[in-house]
Amino acid sequence: MGHTLAEKILAAKCGREQVSPGEFINAKVDLVLASELSGVLAIDAFEQIEGSKVFDPQKIVLVMDHFTPNKDIKSAEIVKRCREFARQCGIQLYDIGRAGIMHILLPERGLVSPGDLIAGADSHTCTYGFIGAFGTGIGSTDAAAAMALGELWLKVPESIRLEYQGELQPWVCGKDIILHTIGRIGVDGARYQAIEMSGPAMPHLSMADRFTMANMAIEAGAKTALIPADEKTQAYVQERQGRPGIRMTPDPDAEYTQSHVFDISSMEPCVAVPFLPENVEPAAKLGDVEIDQVVIGMCTNGNLEDMRAAAEVLEGHSIHPRVRTIIIPGSQKVYLDSLREGLIEIFVQAGCAVSTPTCGPCLGGHMGVLAARERCVSTSNRNFRGRMGHPESEVYLANPYVAAASAILGRIGLPSEVV
CATH number reported for the structural domain that contains residue 399 in this entry = 3.30.499.10
Task: Give the pLDDT mean for 368-388.
Answer: 95
Q: What is the pLDDT of residues 207-237, one digit of tens each?
A: 999 999 999 999 999 999 999 999 999 999 9
> How far is it, in rounded angstroms, from Cα 209 to Cα 179?
12
For residues 230 and 284, state if they share a domain.
no
Q: Are residues 176 and 307 in the same domain?
A: no
Boundary residue ending a domain (195, 228, 262): 262
- Statement to judge: residues 238 and 134 lie in one domain: yes
Domain total in the chain: 2
**Residue 242 pLDDT > 90:** no
Q: Is the pLDDT of residue 203 over 90?
A: yes
One domain for residues 199 and 99: yes
304/387 same-domain check? yes
Q: Do 328 and 362 have their domain in common?
A: yes
The answer to whether residues 221 and 338 belong to one domain is no
Q: Which pTM does this prediction carry?
A: 0.95
In terms of pLDDT, which residue wins out, 68 or 394?
A: 394
Provide the β-strand partners of residue 354.
Answer: 327
Query: Could you say which of 262, 287, 313 is where a domain stops?
Result: 262
Q: How confident is the model at residue 37 (pLDDT cuts 50, 70, 90)?
A: confident
The mean per-residue pLDDT over the stretch 402-414 comes to 98
The model's pLDDT over 293-340, given as tens digits with 9 standing for 90+, comes to 999 999 999 999 999 999 999 999 999 999 999 999 999 999 999 999
Same domain, 215 and 313: no
Single out the residue in 205, 229, 262 at which a domain terminates: 262
The domain containing residue 326 runs over which residues? Answer: 270-417
Same domain, 31 and 106: yes
Is 283 found in the same domain as 137?
no
The gap from C-alpha 80 to its chain's centroid, in whole angstroms, comes to 25
At residue 67, the pLDDT reads: 87
If asked whether residues 231 and 158 sit together in one domain, one would say yes
**Residue 181 clears pLDDT 90, i.e. is over it:** yes
Q: CB under 8 Å to 267, separation ≥6 — which residues?
A: 168, 169, 172, 176, 177, 180
One domain for residues 160 and 282? no
Separation CA 276–CA 298 (nearest Å): 18
For 365, the 3-state DSSP assignment is coil
pLDDT category of residue 113 using cuts at 50, 70 and 90: very high
Mean pLDDT of 272-282: 97
